[in-house]
Structure 1
Amino acid sequence: MIKRVTTPAGDPAWLVTDYDLVKTLLADRRLGRGHADPDNAPKFTDAVLLGKPHQATEEEENERHAWMRRMLTPSFSARNMEALRPRVRHLVDGLLDDLVRQPQPADFHEAVSFKLPVVVICELLGVPYEDREKFRRWSEAVGTLNDPRKSQEGAAGLWAYMGELVERKKKEPGDDVITRLIEAAPPGQDETVASLSAGLLFAGHETTVAAIDRGVMLLSLNPGQWDALRADPGTAGDVVEEILRHPSPISAPSEDSGMPRYAMADIDIDGVHIPCGDLVLLGIGQANRDETRFPDPSAFVPRESNPHLSFGHGPRFCIGAPLARIELTELFTALATRFETFGPAVDVAQLTPRAERLVGGVAELPVRWTVA
């Protein structure tokens, strides 16, 4: 289904919700974040993220994206990510050791959900972990959708920090992604490397934090699935895929929203003509609930086939997907192995959603447990 909607910024857009159509357009190189006239382009929000597009033709957009993938693929290959699994497992064990030393209830969001992805992405990129509160503050501001000024100030702080880090890495290189980006980039591309690194830092922890919290909530609301996972922790991978597919249980998914992209050429699809320059919203959440692909889509049930689109599809498939899957799988395997009972200390409906944030999630997640 394709229909006309109005974005939160008040501009017109095309919303695509059918699974097959969304999947097709995710792989269509005529859609991107570039626009020939960005100052007059329709906007999704007034915030920095998903706001004003950058100026680029279809050819320029695809060349830029191909360059970025070439720069990052060696560091984020499935083999290299798999090599991180023992380190991730060690970090999970340490964080859960620290958690059980705390009095109950303890804030799982602060103790584990936030710390695990942050430690991993800091080590991978070469970002000092001791700076986490700085970039946490900036990342939270950048991801705010209802306060453009706050979003812009957060972006300025995060980008400036990354620019300074790039300069330090040029003088004191390390065995990390940012150093390898500096070495691989043509001369004069420091600003591009800093911008790309800032995006990796944001995406590398914000989305995974929200997924961890969501998984804990979903398993608590579906005790039969928790029992099944405890009986066979080897099924954690299937559980993780369902967590990735499923919306948050504390915030209703928007039916008139989606991932914003711009048509960089005229596109005709499903009997609809989308003119070049129009804004297209790819309804990934709606596609993940398409009952033609996911029988009983509202149920939280690990599925034999789970081709969700949460990481995208095609040439723009999320480059960090293997890392996120490793982090989530190792954590939920450990939870099922170490704890007999584990879940929120309050009714899930009482938790505070971060509705103003791009990635959603919760502000706190108090939990109780009994050790197996």
Structure 2
Amino acid sequence: MTIRTQLPLEQPSPLQLAPVLRALQTQGPIHPIRTAVGDPAWLVTGYEEVRRLLDDHRLGRAHPAPDNAARTGESVLFGGPIGDFDTEQLDHRRMRALLQPHFSPKRMRALRPRVEALTSDLLDELARRGPQADLHARLALPLPIAVICELLGVPYADRAQFHAWTQAAADVTDKTRSEQGLTELFTYGRQLVARKRREGHLGGDSEDADVITRLALTEGVSDDEAAILGMLLLFAGHETTVVAIGMGALWLLAHRDQWQELLGDPSRVNAAVEEILRASGVGGHGILRYARVDLDVAHVRVRAGDLVLLDLSAGNHDAEVFAEPDRFDINRQAGAHLTFGYGARYCLGAPLARIELQTVFSQLISRFPTMRLARDVQELTVNSHLLTGGLAELPVTW
């Protein structure tokens, strides 16, 4: 196969899909590419193909020869294969079974008032410090950290440490930094689990107990397993939501008519959140999978062991599914987006992320109706070295 495209794809604006990605989509739904570290891979960009493959057991995160597997980057945890190839599907079902109860609709509904209170407190502080601020540092970053700390039972006082470790672990350009961050995060998780085991026997089995306490006291769950699950939740539960809040605010501030529409009709916030989730990805990264067997994707033969990248953002910008996909429109029916995945690996934290986003934009717009960007969109910096991406800062004024 001839490979003409290499990641990362040039992105002229945080709010614009990479032009190369749009060009690829016109050629078909699957493309041979090279990753940022030069390894061959398949990039899947069609909505229907991405959706189907997200729930296809013929793809997985493990590889039979992990040392020889193609990689997307230098991140130890996110740049290549993880898990045991022979037991991957069984291990995944076990993980879902252990974590699903902690994200039940009942528990998420119970958490909403706390999310609303935390958001209100942060906006009070924003108002006191105004009339200009970095919305990333003052809202997008601290809110998801505070929420996940309460849910998991992680001390909020440790936020600077664990956030630094999660960012290091997600560094796709520096293997040493990624290894060190992952080691520090796992060591912290083990220490936290050990403390929960010592202290958690007093009421630790109640429904009100935090997630890590309940994992630590679950029969058959080792310290290592509880620490791994807890720290994965810590990473996924705040890093991705930080990005979504920042990008959501940017989309709305850059499209003043949409901001004003939400100000006039707050009932549109749920639809606005779905459009933010659909529009915010810039593409060119993709969910990492390896083919477990030979398979055909849109008449293209993918061989066992091949690296396959399922580009959720490209799927969310497929004109066959979303009319005028590059247009941001909070009145769009965007609920079919792929941002949280699909099928057996659908994101467990999706309900919590939605609660946080709905709460943020309900309160932010009503409290700061005159807020505007303090810098042109093209001048904003994206964290291209991190797996999660997102904005480095979001200067605003009101």
Calculate the TM-score normalised by the size of structure 2.
Answer: 0.88
Other-structure match for 1:236:
269
Give the C-alpha shift of residue 8 in structure 1.
1.2
Where does residue 304 of structure 1 map in the other structure?
333
Q: 2:213 aligns with which of 160, 173, 179?
A: 179
* TM-superposed deviation, 1:313: 0.2
Structure-2 separation of matches of 1:368 and 1:44: 38
1:343 corresponds, among 372, 375, 378, to 372
Percent identity, aligned pairs only, is 46
1:112 counterpart residue number: 139
Distance, in Å, in 2 between the alignment partners of 1:313 and 1:22 is 9
Matched, 1:136 2:163: yes
Quote the residue 1:166 is aligned against: 193
Aligned equivalent of 1:283: 311
Taking a change above 3 Å as real, the CA distance of residues 185 and 297 of structure 1, as seen in their structure-2 partners, is: farther
Pairwise mapping of residues 268-279 of structure 1 onto structure 2 (< 5 A)? 268-279=296-307
Tell me how large the CA RMSD over aligned residues is.
1.4
Give runs of aligned pairs for residues 119-268 of structure 1, distance below 5 A: 119-173=146-200, 174=204, 175-186=209-220, 189-247=222-280, 253-255=282-284, 257-268=285-296
- Farther off after superposition, 110-119 or 39-48: 39-48
Task: Supply the distance in 2 between the matched residues of 1:142 and 1:57 (Cα, whole angstroms).
Answer: 22
- Measured in 2, the distance between the counterparts of 1:301 and 1:254 equals 19
1:83 aligns to what? 110
Does the Cα contact within 8 Å between 2:75 and 2:172 map onto a contact in 1? yes
Q: Distance in 2 between matches of 1:50 and 1:108?
A: 28
Alpha-carbon distance in structure 2 between the residues aligned to 1:201 and 1:37:
29
Q: What displacement does 1:108 show?
A: 1.4
Within 1, Cα distance between the matches of 2:138 and 2:76? 29
Bigger mean CA deviation after superposition, 178-187 or 90-99: 178-187
Asked whether 1:334 is paired with 2:367, we answer no
Counterpart CA distance in 1 for 2:36 and 2:272 is: 33
Deviations 1:194-235 (A, max 9, x none): 111111101110111111111111111111100100011111
Cα-to-partner distance string for 1:304-350 (whole Å, 9 max, x where unaligned)? 24311010000000000000000000110111222221232222222
Partner of residue 321 from structure 1, selected from 332, 350, 353 = 350
Q: 2:396 and 2:115 mapped to 1: Cα distance?
A: 22
Contact 2:340–2:347 under 8 Å retained in 1: yes
SS of structure 2 residue aligned to 1:36: coil
Secondary structure in structure 1 of the residue aligned to 2:103: coil
Secondary structure of the corresponding residue to residue 397 of structure 2: strand
Counterparts of 2:112 and 2:139, CA distance in 1: 17
What SS class does the counterpart of residue 127 from structure 1 fall into? Answer: coil
Task: Identify if the C-alpha distance between structure 1 residues 25 and 185 changes in structure 2 by more than 3 Å, giving closer, same or farther.
Answer: farther
- Answer yes or no: is the 8 Å Cα contact 2:286–2:311 preserved in 1: yes
Partner of residue 367, structure 1 = 396
Q: How far apart are 1:55 and its partner, in Å? A: 4.7
Q: Secondary structure at the match of 2:102?
A: coil
Counterpart for residue 29 of structure 1: 57
How many pairs align? 362
Q: Structure 1 residues 233-242 or 351-360, which shifts more?
A: 351-360
- After the TM superposition, which parts of structure 1 deviate over 6 Å for at least 4 consecutive aligned residues? none
Q: Secondary structure of 1:218's match?
A: helix
**CA 339–54 in structure 1, closer or farther in 2 if over 3 Å, else same:** closer
Deviation at 1:94, TM superposition (A): 0.9
Counterparts of 1:214 and 1:254, CA distance in 2: 14
CA distance in 1, matches of 2:261, 2:311: 31
Supply the distance in 2 between the matched residues of 1:86 and 1:77 (Cα, whole angstroms). 16
Q: CA deviation at 1:185?
A: 4.7
AA partner of residue 197 (structure 2): K
Asked if the contact 1:216/1:343 (under 8 Å) is kept, the reply is no
Q: Distance in 2 between matches of 1:209 and 1:25?
A: 27
Counterpart of 1:95? 122
* 2:294/2:302 contact within 8 Å kept: yes
User: Could you say which residue in structure 2 is the equivalent of 1:353?
Assistant: 382
1:184 CA displacement: 2.3
Q: Which runs of 5+ in 1 are unaligned?
A: none
Equivalent pair of 1:126/1:178 in contact (CA under 8 Å): yes
Give the gaps of 5 or more residues in structure 2. 1-28
- Which is further off, 286-295 or 349-358? 349-358
Q: Distance in 1 between matches of 2:372 and 2:256?
A: 10
Over residues 2-57 of structure 1, what are the superposed CA-to-partner deviations in whole Å (9 max), with x where a residue is unaligned?
Answer: 22111112111111111000000001122111111111111111222322313523
Partner secondary structure for residue 346 of structure 1: coil
What per-residue deviation string (whole Å, max 9, x for no partner) do you get for residues 269-312 of structure 1? 32222222111110111101000111000011021243110100
C-alpha displacement at 1:254, in angstroms? 4.4
